[in-house]
Structure 1
């Protein structure tokens, strides 16, 4: 169906991708993953034809149609149906005519007939079926877009391309902002469409999602790609094996380099000695000729060894350093953090949550889950006093050391430069830099303005600040939002080392499984 051959992408002097190749068959799903900025979205744009590669070619089988879903959410002020029909211009025009305020009775009848004949009602039925498959109601088609949560809005562009006749669907981070139930719906829809012969290329950082849908996974790192059968779990196994083999090869080559360098130094001394003998024997006939011959031979040997050294150094593989988190240990005593009794919150007449009772200690690691818009963030803000509950009581331990990381993690930092934010804990700069380095924030990155750093870098720095502050409890609101897979792995390890308690909101199933001892769900306004 699709062949991608030796794709290279350069932006000026920056080489983003080099020699990326893979094929895609009918009814197959390829997941693409890697660090933020690795070139995943650029690769999708090349396949979709919106970006020309610097070299290489992309061949799509004749007669195959594709649909491309970039990273975006609808912001228009219109109904869901109006939005969905935008990609079907003829039907959309007929729909608008039919719903015009000034239309006459006869014109209305003609518009209905036209709408029927061009497949408008058939398309509406398709949209209704797709809506139901994602847990919506058919009546949601007539609702305004702004009535829905950010995660729900993310589904509507997906419905557009699912309703098309495209056999190849190209999706760039479709799970962004989706809650767990929406992710489950999407997995089922992709698997169902795959059985019909449709193919998918999906960029995603959702580790469980990739495991569920992917037949093969393409991992992009430092501009190059690794393609493995299966999903994220199989990729991890491959990367571990690749790390071990690269490490062994690098060690063997380094040993050879050391031996050659030692031999080269010895030969250089020998060559220098022969050169002196040659000069000293310039007028001594046979002895002079023999000395000159030995000196020449010594230089040839030295040059050959230098060439072997250069070859070995070129062959030595790059070995990514494994994450090595080493922080000063501190002990967190079992301490009461807060308790809430019969907490309720309303916005006007609309209930957000009701009769919530909760107790937290430094030994607790609690995840709050629930659909988008169910009130998880509002509950956390009420618990911390950033919002006022409508009723109920909250008792907080003012002597406990806790920190709150909001969804917009930039708001956590008060100083412009990253390093300056971590210098208020009485720890020497060298130690702070060491801790940041352990969290993969090295050298010049720690001196960058907060505004220039990625969400993943800021979240890692925030966890480091919590350890430097000897915090006893963390409140985290969607800490995995916008994180790439590498940052998710680092965050998991950082929180594993954190000795205190946690209360966090997340839709990332693997993150929840690794970090939560207790899971609370908000359903029908109740916890």
Structure 2
């Protein structure tokens, strides 16, 4: 056993985040850690690695256990990505320097002592054992697998936040650890890189604990799901699809058992009232005694918790404008480039009424550029992009920013027509309750920004919906709610998403950008 948590509780500011968590992690286990945003998943990882301590209970680790965990982004520096990864293995660099010292010494032509040859041979064996001879090849292979080879010589200071996190994940995957703790590893990865990472984890004999909202990824790589709900944990011995099936059956059984118990409790309460009434009417002590016996039995009943029948954090529906013409988008021989870097060259495609399209391509292939061209925020260098008659567009951007970050949520939402009471009721449908509506926009989390923009979007009417990474920063529950809302929309849909489960649920076609051209194909459904 590598890691054991026994009845662990963790509080922040006196408020319990995790309660009575017990878990055993064994060699070779691959565990998916799921739960709503703020449920304590990242806290649990920190407890496992020892960054934070438990308020009660115990966390035990095998002696000399090596745990790799992406705690933070690498600091910006003038180091290249490749140099940073090489220098992340100081022991290898130390032995390499000693080998270089002896090789330089031997090349002078001076007499070589036997003890020097012996020491050199020992260093060679050690260098091989710690992976020194294969390190550079492994780095190059992993950069290629993650579609990051083009950034090999880029300075860390020039990378985006997401790219820095990716570099740090590559670094820990290169280490020879016993346990890898990964927090949202598929964020910032394109489809090919996700496939490579899935294969890497599946073929590895190491132990992985993975926090992820990527349901497709969880289906592919994990053998167990640990759910954190209301501070408590429950282990399901299967992948995400197994978890969903088991969870649904548990909830159905809980609802049935709760209803039966409530029926039994009501019968007993009614019998107690009757015995007391009969005792009052007849002044017979036997009736009082019988009522007391039933009351004692009622007190000893272990109450089944009431099932939460509505856990929704997002409630709403898309308002559909009157239908557009058959041809929604017509693209003919377009050219587009930035700083002499061509994105599209004589590219052609069409989007028709009621198409449900997943826009795909490697990172940097031009997906966001194409969306900006459709919105009119960018212009083509040559060729034609035509939006059909009666087409009205609803758009959710990937990067959500505000002109006035100091503005309060409620004030910002007043752009939507309605009284303050109506607006607060709408915001409550997207989990902005009470004082939440007075938060400054700059203080909103990524998930809160997505929910706020969804709330605005759903007050508009349109017949062509464009979504750029709509599930970013959202937990699984919120993703599933958005899926249901979008599935009910009868207009045309174009989505860009790394969430393959979401794509499978929504899209029917693929529009792939490759070699500066569009290729259309049907989407093979793997998820019902």
- Indicate the TM-score class for this superposition, using the shorter chain for normalisation: 0.7 to 0.9
Q: Is 1:333 the counterpart of 2:341 in the alignment?
A: no
Within a 5 Å distance, the mapping from 1:380-459 to structure 2 comes to 380-397=371-388, 399-409=390-400, 411=402, 416=407, 418=409, 450-459=441-450
Gaps of 5+ in 1: 99-105, 275-290
Corresponding position of 1:206: 214
Measure how far apart 1:215 and its partner are: 1.2
Query: Structure 1 residue 34: deviation in Å?
Result: 1.1
Q: Any conservation in 2 of the 1:134–1:186 contact (CA below 8 Å)?
A: yes
* Aligned counterpart, 1:103: none
CA distance in 2, matches of 1:430, 1:499: 30
Equivalent residues of 1:355, 1:526 under 8 A apart: yes
2:52 is aligned to 51
Q: After superposition, what is the alpha-carbon deviation per residue over 1:473-517, rounded to whole angstroms, capped at 9, x for unaligned?
A: 221111121221111111111111223221121111111111112
Equivalent in the alignment of 1:165: 176
CA 523–501 in structure 1, closer or farther in 2 if over 3 Å, else same: same
**Residue in structure 1 matching 2:343, options 335, 341, 352:** 352
- Partner Cα separation in structure 2 for residue 474 and residue 31 of structure 1: 32
Q: Is the 8 A contact 2:405 2:441 kept in 1?
A: no
Deviation at 1:442, TM superposition (A): 5.8
Per the alignment, residue 506 of structure 1 pairs with 497
Give ranges in structure 2 of 5+ residues lacking alignment.
Answer: 109-119, 519-528
Q: Comparing 493-502 with 204-213, which one deviates more in the overlay?
A: 493-502
Q: 1:374 to 1:330 in 2, by over 3 A?
A: closer
Shift of 1:89: 2.9
Give the TM-score of the pair, scaled to structure 1: 0.81
Distance verdict in 2 for CA 1:499–1:186, change over 3 Å: same
How many pairs does the alignment contain? Answer: 497
Q: Hey, what's the Cα distance between the residues in 2 that align with 1:60 and 1:123?
A: 28
TM-score, reference length from structure 2: 0.81
Report the alpha carbon displacement of residue 16 of structure 1 after superposing the two structures with TM.
0.6
Q: Give the whole-Å Cα distance in 1 for the aligned partners of 2:42 and 2:30.
A: 17
Indicate conservation of the 8 Å contact 2:10/2:54, yes or no: yes
Higher mean C-alpha deviation, range 492-501 or range 505-514: 492-501
> How many angstroms apart in 2 are the aligned matches of 1:487 and 1:96?
52
Q: Which residue of 2 aligns with 1:16?
A: 17
2:357 equivalent in structure 1: 366
Distance 2:262 2:352 in 1: 51
2:403 and 2:250 map into 1 onto residues whose CA distance is 38
Change (3 A) 1:71 1:365: farther
How far 1:235 moved relative to its partner?
A: 0.9
1:316-344 deviation line (CA, Å, top 9, x unaligned): 34435265967598674243544332222
Q: What is the distance in 1 between the residues matched to 2:146 and 2:459? A: 44
2:262 to 247, 254, 258: 254
Alignment of 1:76-475 (within 5 A): 76-91=77-92, 119=127, 122-135=134-147, 137=149, 141-145=152-156, 153-194=164-205, 198-270=206-278, 291=283, 294=285, 305-306=294-295, 308-309=297-298, 312=301, 314-321=303-310, 323=312, 327=317, 332-335=322-325, 336-397=327-388, 399-409=390-400, 411=402, 416=407, 418=409, 450-475=441-466
**Cα distance 1:398–1:408, how it changes in 2: closer, same or farther (>3 A)?**
farther
Structure 1: distance between partners of 2:439 and 2:295: 41
Greater mean alpha carbon deviation, residues 324-333 or residues 502-511 = 324-333
Mapped to 1, the partners of 2:31 and 2:225 lie a distance apart of: 6
Paired with 1:96 and 1:351, the residues of 2 have a C-alpha distance of: 44
Q: Do 1:460 and 1:490's aligned partners in 2 also have CA atoms closer than 8 Å?
A: no
Q: Compute the displacement of 1:423 (Å).
A: 6.2
Structure 1 residues 156 and 454: CA distance shift in structure 2, 3 A? closer
Q: CA RMSD in A?
A: 3.8
